[in-house]
Amino acid sequence: MELLTFKIIAAAAMVAMAVFGGVIPLYAARMAGSQRFFSLGNAFTGGIFLGLGFIHFLPDGIHELEELVDYPLAVLMATVGLGVLLLIDRVILGDRYGEEDLVNQNPRAFYPYLLLALLSVHSFIVGVSLGLEHHVLAAIVIVVGVLAHKASETFALMVSTHTAGLAARAQKIILTLFAAMTPVGVAVGLLATNTLGENETATAWAIGLFNSFAAGTFIYMAIVEMIDAELARRDVRVAKFVMSVITGADDVPMPTKDTDRWLKFILIIAGVALIAVLAQWTHVPHAH
């Protein structure tokens, strides 16, 4: 099989894998008991994002930057990413949410779009690297790595869109955009093989800084917005219930004992473990 043919087939497979991971939450939303499914899915997503931050994005950032500068710049950029999200979430927008946002445990409405941007840029970069690749074996490794991560990333992204309360049409648009990013990157890489491959240092800087910054944002979202929401203490949930009653919303049920707490913890660990296994299985430094 020619390399170009392989890349075209690989791009189609990436789209299929992304759609597969994304339609599961879309169909689950129509079923009875979907609230519990998305609560458990949010815990699993928190584990996935925690793994992506610590095991996938940050190590890739360190790998790209450690040979360019004698300073832990990747770790600093991860800290900056976390700090920027903290600033936006709790300082700039902290007092601007309405009563409905305060009552519900939904993630902030801008999170799905931020996730879409971060994951799309990463997918695009990986697609470009595949499009630029001249060796079949290296291209196969890149494709395996992308396919292994794609479904879990899309699942997590779509769970976040649902828990943020986005309309079904907006969820489908986000899924379509994300599914298209890697094939678009492959096309760009194929069309610009010569120009994009000339400056490897600039490419390493861009990838290293982006991955490191993304690591901090994923760690923040995992811990502060997803895991904390699913494992919140009962007194916090009581406070939300009381606020619901006072404001007349009455859309928060009386807090009861959380029988899923251990299951949610296991799902968080499972999400981290999934990324850890995929990282070990597919890790090739130059592929990202």
Sign, CA dihedral 150-151-153-154, equals positive
Q: Which residue has the higher pLDDT, 11 or 105?
A: 11
| Under 8 Å between Cβ of 97 and 106 | no
Return the DSSP state at 32.
Answer: T
**Residues 6+ away with beta carbon under 8 Å from 142:** 126, 129, 130, 133, 284, 287
Q: What is the pLDDT of residues 272-285, one digit of tens each?
A: 999 898 877 655 44
| Residue from 40, 42, 38, 16 nearest 27 by CA | 38
Distance CA 153, CA 147 (A): 10
Q: Tokens representing 34?
A: 């979907």
**What is the per-residue pLDDT for 104?**
46
Q: What is the pLDDT of residues 106-141, one digit of tens each?
A: 446 778 888 899 889 888 888 887 887 777 777 887
Q: What is the pLDDT of residues 73-95, one digit of tens each?
A: 999 999 999 999 898 888 887 65
The amino acid at 168? A
> Buried b / exposed e across 233-268, counting CB within 10 Å, b at 16+?
eeeebebebeebeeeeeeebeebeebebeeebeebb
pTM of the predicted structure, to 2 decimals: 0.76
Q: What is the pLDDT of residues 185-200, one digit of tens each?
A: 888 888 865 555 556 7
- HEC states along 41-60? HHHHHHHHHHHHHHHHHHHH
